[in-house]
Amino acid sequence: MMQRDSAGNTSAIILAGGKSLRMGTPKYLLPFAGEPLITHIVRRLQNLFADVVVVAAADQSLPSMPARVVRDELPHQGPVGGILYGLRAAAQEIAFVTACDAPFLNLTLIQSLLSALGAADVAVPFWQDRLQPLHAVYRSTVKPLLEQQLSDGRLRPTFLYERVTTRIVSEAELLQIDPEGLSFININTPEEYHRALRRWSSLP
């Protein structure tokens, strides 16, 4: 298994403050692999990162887990707010950012994204015709621009990419490591949750 020190001076940030409207119940608490989904994701990332930060809503109740928890400073600021607060709390200059509903994280792919960053400010995958801002690597230098986006009400992370040096990781590159695209499976509905459970149980 990949060791933590292979990630170098990097942190992991998990955004947990979404509303789970389509699921009808908090996604991060769904049972997965014998524990709450968010705990499963934290443990997975701990194999690569010594510093794992969870960004939660101000009133969100979380299970006990081996991660540092920070809270949204203001509500309803979307992923831009979560990324900013996570970067502020991260112990390291570079951070991999993901969501609390991505159960099939591929550590080799994450390591590849970290390597792809190089001297850029952001390394973001391009998968199925769209950028994947919640499976991307960010340098802490983008914090002032994220603060400005929040001030301007520009709550889509992709607005950032137009203003910084962005390394877009192509689908062809991603397929070499994750040919089924499991890394980009998110759980938003009960149907998707049950499909993910079946897929997990079928993995070797």
Regarding pTM above 0.95, the answer is no
- How far is 129 from 202, CA to CA, in rounded Å? 28
Give the tokens for residue 149. Answer: 């986006």
Phi, psi of 98 (to 5 degrees): -140, 175
pLDDT in tens, 112-139: 999 999 999 999 999 999 999 999 999 9
Q: Residue 71 class from Cβ within 10 Å (0-12 exposed, 13-18 middle, 19+ buried)? A: middle
Q: Architecture of domain 4-202 in CATH?
A: Alpha-Beta Complex (3.90)
166 pLDDT above the threshold of 50: yes
pLDDT in tens, 51-109: 999 999 888 899 989 999 999 877 778 899 999 999 999 999 999 999 999 999 999 99
Binning pLDDT at 50, 70 and 90, where does residue 3 land? very low
pLDDT in tens, 33-43: 999 999 999 99
pLDDT in tens, 195-204: 999 999 998 7
User: Which among 138, 186, 147 has a CA at the least distance from the CA of 166?
Assistant: 138
- How, if at all, do strands 122-127 and 135-139 pair? antiparallel
Q: What is the average pLDDT value for the chain, to the nearest integer?
A: 92
DSSP 60: -
2 pLDDT above the threshold of 50: no
Sign of CA dihedral 31, 34, 36, 42: negative
Domains of the chain: which residue ranges?
4-202
pLDDT score at 17: 74
Identity of residue 185: I
Cα dist from 26 to 38, 100, 119, 138, 177, whole Å: 10, 10, 37, 26, 31
Give the tokens for residue 133. Answer: 């801002």
